[in-house]
Structure 1
Amino acid sequence: MSGQPLPPYPFNQDPDRTVSYRHPAPGQPSGPYTQPYAHPGQPAGGPPPWQQGELGPPMPPPRKKGRGWLFAIIAAVMVVLVGGGGVYAVSLLSGGGTQPEDVLPASTLAYVRVDLDPAANQKLALFGLARKFSATRDSFTGDDPRKALFELMRKDSRDLAKVDYARDVEPWIGDRIGFGVLAPRAGSNTPEAVLAVQVTDETGARAGLAKLNAGGEMKGLAFREDYALLASTQAAADGYAKAPPLAQNSDFAGDLKALGEPGVLSFWGNVGQIAKIAGGAVPTDQGTLEMIKNVRFAGALRFDTGYAELSGISRGAPVQGATDPEAVRLADLPDSTVGALSISGLGDAFGKQWPQLTKMAESSGGQAFTDFVTRAQQSYGIALPADLVTLLGKNLTVAVDEQGLDGDLPNVGAVLTTDPAKAQEVVAKLERFVADSGTAAPQIAKVAADGKLVLASSQDYAGRLAADGTLGDSETFAQAIPDADSATAALFVDLDKLEKYYLRSVSGEERANLQTLRAVGLSASQSGDTTSFSLRVLFN
Structure 2
Amino acid sequence: MTDPTPEHTPDPAPHAGYTYPGAPPAPASTTGVGLSDPQDHPPAARPGRGRTGLVIGGVAAALLLGGGAVFAVQQLSGAGAQPADVLPGDAYGYVRLDIDPSAGQKIAAVRFLGKLPQVRDTLTGDDPRRKLWDLVTQDAADSCVSTLRYDTDIAPWLGERAGVAIRPGGTTDKPNVALAVQVSDEARAKEALGKLFACDKDGADIETKDGYALVMPPGTGASTMAAIAKGTLAANSTFTGDMTALGEQGVVSAWFDMTTGATQLQDLGAGALGTPGTAGTARPPSATTAGMQGRVAAALRFDPSFVELAGVVRGAKAVNAAPGDTSELVDLPDDTAAALHVSGADQAIDSAWPTLSTQLENLSGMTGGDVIGEIEKQLDVTLPDDLKVLLGRSFTLSLPQQDLRVADSFVVGGKIVSSDSARAGALVDRLDQTMGGILTHTVDGGTVYLATDPAYVASLKKGGALGDTDTFKATLGDVSRANGVLFVDLDRIESAYLGDLQGDTRAVVESLRAVGGSTTVTGPGEASFSLRVVGN
**Under a length normalisation based on structure 1, what TM-score does the superposition of the two structures give?**
0.74
Query: What letter is aligned with 2:208?
Result: F
1:176 equivalent in alignment to 2:161: yes
Query: What letter is aligned with 2:425?
Result: V
- Greater displacement, 304-313 / 318-327: 318-327
1:495 equivalent in alignment to 2:490: yes
Q: Helix, strand or coil: the match of 1:504?
A: helix
1:231 equivalent in alignment to 2:216: yes
Please name the residue that 2:337 is paired with.
338
Please name the residue that 1:88 is paired with.
none
1:290 equivalent in alignment to 2:283: no
Native 8 Å contact 1:517 1:539 kept in 2 = yes
Please name the residue that 1:45 is paired with.
none
Distance 1:20 1:403 in 2: 46
- Bigger relative contact order, structure 1 or 2 (CA pairs below 8 A, ≥6 apart): 1
Deviation at 1:535, TM superposition (A): 0.6
Please name the residue that 1:392 is paired with.
391
Higher helix share: 2
Please name the residue that 2:190 is paired with.
206
Native 8 Å contact 1:328 1:488 kept in 2 = no
Matches of residues 439-454 of structure 1 in structure 2 within 5 Å? 440-446=436-442, 448-449=444-445, 451-454=446-449
- Greater displacement, 121-130 / 294-303: 121-130
Native 8 Å contact 1:115 1:176 kept in 2 = yes
Native 8 Å contact 2:294 2:316 kept in 1 = yes
- Greater displacement, 160-169 / 457-466: 160-169
| Partner of residue 132 from structure 2, selected from 140, 145, 149 | 149
Deviation at 1:311, TM superposition (A): 0.7
Query: What letter is aligned with 1:347?
Result: D
Distance 2:353 2:251 in 1: 42
Native 8 Å contact 2:288 2:359 kept in 1 = no
Q: Which runs of 5+ in 2 are unaligned?
A: 1-9, 34-74, 276-284
Identity %: 34
Query: What letter is aligned with 1:332?
Result: D
Please name the residue that 1:278 is paired with.
265
Deviation at 1:249, TM superposition (A): 1.6
Please name the residue that 2:238 is paired with.
251
Distance 1:358 1:207 in 2: 55
Query: What letter is aligned with 1:191?
Result: P
Cα shift readout 1:80-121 (whole Å, capped 9, x = no counterpart): xxxxxxxxxxxx996332111111111112111111223566
Query: What letter is aligned with 1:220?
Result: D
Please name the residue that 1:98 is paired with.
81
Cα shift readout 1:162-190 (whole Å, capped 9, x = no counterpart): 766554434322221111111236x9873
1:427 equivalent in alignment to 2:428: no
Q: Taking structure 1 as reference, are residues 443 and 213 closer, same or farther at Cα in structure 2, changes over 3 Å only?
A: closer
Deviation at 1:301, TM superposition (A): 0.9
Q: Taking structure 1 as reference, are residues 214 and 327 closer, same or farther at Cα in structure 2, changes over 3 Å only?
A: same
Please name the residue that 2:248 is paired with.
261
Q: Helix, strand or coil: the match of 2:125?
A: coil
Deviation at 1:413, TM superposition (A): 1.2
Distance 1:260 1:512 in 2: 33
Task: Give the number of aligned pairs.
Answer: 457
Q: Taking structure 1 as reference, are residues 340 and 511 closer, same or farther at Cα in structure 2, changes over 3 Å only?
A: same
Q: Taking structure 1 as reference, are residues 432 and 326 closer, same or farther at Cα in structure 2, changes over 3 Å only?
A: closer
Please name the residue that 2:101 is paired with.
118
Deviation at 1:466, TM superposition (A): 2.2
Distance 2:18 2:391 in 1: 52
Cα shift readout 1:15-38 (whole Å, capped 9, x = no counterpart): xx995469xxxxxxx64779xxxx
Please name the residue that 2:418 is paired with.
418
Native 8 Å contact 1:8 1:261 kept in 2 = no
Native 8 Å contact 2:102 2:250 kept in 1 = no
1:306 equivalent in alignment to 2:302: no
Distance 1:192 1:404 in 2: 52
Deviation at 1:277, TM superposition (A): 2.0
Please name the residue that 2:466 is paired with.
471
In terms of Rg, which structure is larger?
2
Deviation at 1:399, TM superposition (A): 0.4
Distance 2:158 2:27 in 1: 30
Distance 1:288 1:359 in 2: 9
Q: Which runs of 5+ in 1 are unaligned?
A: 23-29, 35-91
